[in-house]
Amino acid sequence: MAAVSTGFCQNNAGSQAKPIAQPLVTNIYTADPSAHVFNGRIYIYPSHDIEAGIPQNDNGDHFDMRDYHVLSMDRIGGKVTDHGVALDKKDVPWVGRQMWAPDAAYKNGKYYLYFPAKDKQDVFRIGVATSSSPAGPFKAEPKPIAGSYSIDPAVFTDADGNSYMYFGGIWGGQLQRWQTGKYNPKDEYPKNDQPAISPKVARLSKDMLSFAEPVRDVKIVDKDGKPLLAGDNKRRFFEAAWLHKYKGKYYFSYSTGDTHFIAYATGTSPYGPFTYQGVILNPVVGWTNHHSIVEVGGKWYLFYHDSVQSGGKTHLRSVKVTELKYRPDGSIETITAYQK
């Protein structure tokens, strides 16, 4: 992720916007929601935003989160339970700071929480923690996943039982530092007419604790099969990957970051390539845009966040949910989170 100096997107009237949905909880600030249905109940794995008092900068230092809470509800619109602290920074030996957007998965009778954080060298890595309950508490593995880097893990399990982790984020998420496969602390970016930096994917091992194969690029292409370019800010990948399947097709969705859209692209394999299709969610109040998509009881829902509740403070966000609709051709109707 990243920030801009004002901390507001163009839609900066946090207190004036008329939202289509209310925060799921207001006792804490929550963001980056990854929603799943486990045992017939909806579980949401968000970041836990706090006021750390750190000035905003383009590295996102002001997003200095220190733990995770799990939220759950028995139905959309039902009472939301905050299950308290599910994992704390102090219990993860390798973490230095900034516990950012997590995701969760179920396999082998266990629940897995995947989370990005900066290690003691200030390099983003992705960790995993396990629990016998979807609500936690989770116990972290002593080291980050070998070969992992950058931010925003999203784990998708296909019908054949294979699970894949999608990850990455440019700017403050450091994905640009791994373009050669090795870490380069210089923040260098492709020129505008070169292919954009790709998000990453790796199949997970059967025990869900490591990568089963080398990390691959997730290619996002236009309708002519050409890679989206680095200068194509309105369409190219920035952060916040999510993968879901609808009617046999794979939908890869993501944030365009500095243009603030949640966009999507579709393909016929979990590895891609994915062809850009359009916008799922227009910019929200606050700089970041981050989402997940889940089917509950035959309907589809978009979980997202905005900063209305905090009056527009970009690092104090609240998770919300709204219905997502497909057209008969499988395309997704664009959502605007505010009434006109």
- Of positions 29, 43, 100, 124, contacts ligand FUB by CB under 6 A: 100
Active site residue 32: yes
Expressed in angstroms, the distance from the first to the final Cα of the chain is 28
- Secondary structure (H, E, C), 157-193: ECCCCCEEEEECCCHHHCHHHHCCCCCCCCCCCCCCC
Shortest reach from residue 97's CB to ligand FUB, in Å: 12
Contact assessment for residue 171 and residue 238, using Cβ atoms and an 8 Å cutoff: yes
Q: Is 240 in the site for ligand FUB (CB under 6 A)?
A: yes
Nearest 5°: phi and psi at 126? Answer: -120, 125
> 274-281 and 220-221 as β-strands: parallel, antiparallel, unpaired?
parallel
How many Å apart are CA 128 and CA 114, to the nearest integer?
A: 5
239 is catalytic: yes
- Cis peptide bond prior to 190, omega within 30° of 0: no
In 3-state terms, what secondary structure has residue 89? helix
Can you tell me which of 32, 67, 103, 306 binds ligand FUB, judged by CB under 6 A?
A: 32
320 touches ligand FUB (CB under 6 A): no
70, 239, 292, 293: which one binds ligand FUB (CB under 6 A): 239
Report if residue 34 touches ligand FUB, rule: CB under 6 A: no
Amino acid at 213: E
**Minimum CB distance to ligand FUB smaller for 133 or for 220:** 220
Measured from each CB, the residue nearest to ligand FUB is 1
Answer yes or no whether residue 101 interacts with ligand FUB by CB under 6 A: yes
Identity of the residue, 151 or 328, whose beta carbon is nearer to ligand FUB in the bound complex? 151
66/223 with CB nearer ligand FUB: 66
Is 45 among the residues that bind ligand FUB (CB under 6 A)? no
CB of 160 to ligand FUB, least distance (A): 29
- The catalytically annotated residue of 64, 232, 239, 306 is 239
- What is d(CA 281, CA 288) in angstroms, rounded to the nearest whole number? 12
* Residues of this chain that bind ligand FUB (CB under 6 A): 1, 31-32, 47, 63, 100-101, 151-152, 169, 239-240, 288, 290
